[in-house]
Structure 1
Amino acid sequence: MQIQMRYDARAVLSEQMTRTQGLKLKQLSEEAYQPAQYARDLSFAEAARRIQALEAEIELANSF
């Protein structure tokens, strides 16, 4: 018996952020002095976007 599951990208992108993402986003937002970037009700995709942006900003700031 073989079970086939379809991958629905829209469903994954609209899911709530994971606990790991929440912790990472909170840490990065505090490190970047931008606490407003953290919110509990973000989607998975929005959290990933904010994490990536904050990491890039912190990396740029550390390069000076």
Structure 2
Amino acid sequence: MLVQGKYDARVFLAEQMTRTQGQRLKRLSEEAYQPAQYARDLSFTEAARRIQVLEAEIELANSF
């Protein structure tokens, strides 16, 4: 993650999702009745994208 003493964001974004992301994604996918959205081998960025989409879908469903 460090390149010549500096933080390299590209390396971080390509890494596997964090444990917190995994827990949150699993909970949201179950809440949205979309268990296929959860996978253990997602990248950090893909997990963040799926979390964002699921949160938006849940918020939309709750607005009715």
Shared fold (TM-score greater than 0.5)?
Answer: yes
Letter of the structure 2 residue corresponding to residue 55 of structure 1: E
Distance 1:44 1:18 in 2: 7
Matched residue, 2:16: 16
Matched residue, 2:44: 44
Q: Give the CA deviation at 1:42.
A: 0.2
Higher share of residues assigned strand: 2
User: What's the C-alpha RMSD, in Å, of the aligned pairs?
Assistant: 1.0
- Give TM-score, length-normalised by structure 2: 0.90
Residue ranges of structure 2 left out of the alignment (5+ in a row): none
Give deviations 1:23-63, integer Å, cap 9, x for gaps.
00000000000000000000001000000100000000000
- Give TM-score, length-normalised by structure 1: 0.90
Runs of 4+ in 1 over 4 A off after TM superposition: none
Letter of the structure 2 residue corresponding to residue 6 of structure 1: K
Residue ranges of structure 1 left out of the alignment (5+ in a row): none
Who wins on radius of gyration, i.e. which is larger?
Answer: 1
Percent pairwise identity: 84
